[in-house]
Amino acid sequence: MSPRTTKSPNRKDVWGYTFDWTPSHLTATDLQSLTLSYDKLTNDCLDEFDKLGLTSPSSSSASFRAKISSSSSKPQPQNGAPTECPMSQTDFFTLLETHYHKFPSLSTLWDQLTTVPAWVSYAAIARGQAVFYRYAGPAVTSLTFHSLLGGMASARVVETLARTGGFGTRVARRRLLETFQHILDVTEGVESMKPGGKGWKSTVRVRFLHASVRRRIMNLSKNDEDKKNEGEDESKKKDGNGSIGNGDTKTGKRYYDTSKFGTPINDLDSIGTIASFSSALIWMGLPRQGIFLSQQEISDYLHLWRYVAYLIGVPDTITLPDGRTVTPFGTPHEAKTVLESLALAELNNPSETSAVLANNIITALANQPPLRSSASFLRAQAYWLNGSRLCQTLQIPKPKMWYTLLVISQCLLFMFFCYLRQAHYLLFDRRVPWGGGTSGDKEVEVEIEVAGQERYKRVRKLMRHVTVEMAGGKEAQFVFEWVPERGKYTTSFDSDSDPHHAGGGGDDDDGKENKTGMKNKKSWWEWISARYGGSEFRSLKAFLVASTVVGCLVWVGLRGLLLSGTMLLFRR
């Protein structure tokens, strides 16, 4: 199933999101060149670290291949622990900070990172950080089930993700928590995004992580090409003709086809990643939960992520084949146009791997603390945020209507609290600095409102505490942990067969099977007890409150109509 075009030739429909195509939009041809360009500067820095003897990827890959060949000749699905690799614990930021003066590429990257662009406004960044916490509930929900899970519809992108092994059912949850920690780092405060700050350092580390994955896959692909050429030479020596196919002498398959999927973690992928954290949240994820930002909030939130994109190696301005220049996150209009162009070009044909990774996310998160949401409730959120057509294409089982009602109740709860906070912000025009400046700071022209500041600080502190505790009790360092290797490709996994995996992916709401093969139906009390304090129970309470309020209003309305009718009859 693919996106549909409505009767109007300019009206586009991408899995339920409709928009009018304009000359400003980017065609698939316009975007094609971005699949081959990438952050070459950071790749060069990794090569220079090798020259300094600070890293040794070649030896690590050789040892791993030896380990693989000795254990099994067949590729093994990877859903368990990450690959052990000497590079996996390397802090590339520390290496850059220590040795940037020794090579031109290192110096160039360091100068680029420590030079703040003229367009950066720390006041806008402070306001953008506040936007995230003002709408924290629906924002996290959107990032998880729309931006990430829905983003798996990109058949190109999932080919890279599957090769890292970071989205198996046993490890995907920790992988997602590390990504969420990066979001918390960049929204920590204004000082956090200044050179040397926590969010600034985390973003640089993520940049090196992306480069490490990209270089690793490119090297494996290059080895295939070398083997292919060697095989062709040998074949020609034997009979003067023949070919061994795609470069793998045993399987005939290339590890990664750059001509088909583009360069791993290319410029288009990087733009899409930042768009999923910013533009998709603003115009897709939040509106589908009934949340609409003001124009000022949109501009500020985009400004924050434009700077994150700059630090992570995304081109601030791209030049199209026709000579046009576009700044993907420069203005709300450009950001929305790029988002819609990407959605139409990239999300129209999910693959089997797309379905596997999307379902793995739900399996990994089901019944996990602190929310302990069932798989059915998670699926209902995916359906609500992405639409039935996309979810069915991703082979996500359709949830029961009851869970859809719980999601609606959750949206109503989000709307109530978020619009209260938005009204307070708009009415009093109070902008809270996130640990970065005072009312006299010229860089952060904000008025401190103590109660609001403390409230947001508590939310921020709670979110970080919960995230770090769930991730194992330590802050993420964004090291090269999920190392692509031959034979590693994420597949689905029946978690029920693993007693150590707590997050069952099945329809656990109907209970487990007993010895006779029949399911033990859970009682309402068991259902509530299992989810007390979680998101489902919160949504249930919201549903009951909303139902009570609506029932009272209907009763009052009907009573009023009845009394009015009675009075009219008596007057006659």
Domain map of the chain by residue range? 15-226+256-470
**Sequential DSSP letters for 513-559:** B-TTS-B-PPPHHHHHHHHTTSHHHHHHHHHHHHHHHHHHHHHHHHH
Cα–Cα dist 205/94, whole Å: 9
Determine whether 132 is exposed, middle or buried from the number of CB atoms within 10 Å of its CB (0-12, 13-18, 19+).
Answer: buried
**Residue type present at position 150:** G
Nearest Cα residue to 346 out of 269, 265, 256: 269
- Condensed to tens digits (0 to 9), the pLDDT of residues 105-123 reads 999 999 999 999 999 999 9
Alpha carbon distances (Å) from 13 to 8, 26, 84: 11, 16, 44
CB 92 within 8 A of CB 487: no
d(CA 493, CA 169): 6
One pLDDT digit (tens) per residue for the chain, 572 residues: 455 555 678 999 999 999 999 999 999 999 999 999 999 999 999 999 999 888 765 434 434 334 433 333 333 444 444 444 445 557 899 999 999 999 999 999 999 999 999 999 999 999 999 999 999 999 999 999 999 999 999 999 999 999 988 888 888 898 899 999 999 999 999 999 999 999 999 999 999 999 999 999 999 988 766 565 555 555 444 444 333 233 343 445 678 999 999 999 999 999 999 999 999 999 999 999 999 999 999 999 999 999 999 999 999 999 999 999 999 999 999 999 999 999 999 999 999 999 999 999 999 999 988 778 999 999 999 999 999 999 999 999 999 999 999 999 999 999 999 999 888 888 875 544 444 444 444 444 444 433 444 557 888 888 888 888 776 667 777 777 767 888 778 776 444 334 334 334 444 554 444 444 455 555 555 555 555 555 566 666 666 666 676 667 666 666 666 766 666 666 65
Are 389 and 15 spatial neighbours (Cβ–Cβ below 8 Å)?
A: yes
In contact, 243 and 235? CB cutoff 8 Å: yes
Task: Count CB-CB contacts under 10 A for residue 169.
Answer: 28
DSSP letter at 566 equals: H
Q: Would strands 17-20 and 325-326 be described as parallel, antiparallel, or unpaired?
A: unpaired
Exposure string of 459-470, with b = 16+ CB inside 10 Å and e = fewer, is ebeebbeebbeb
Please tell me whether residue 18 adopts helix, strand or coil conformation.
Answer: strand
- Nearest CA to 379 among 370, 492, 390, 369? 390
Question: What pTM does this model have?
Answer: 0.81
- For helices 295-312 and 122-134, what crossing angle results, to 10°? 110
Look up tokens 């490119």; give the residue.
218
Tokens at 141, concatenated: 């929900």
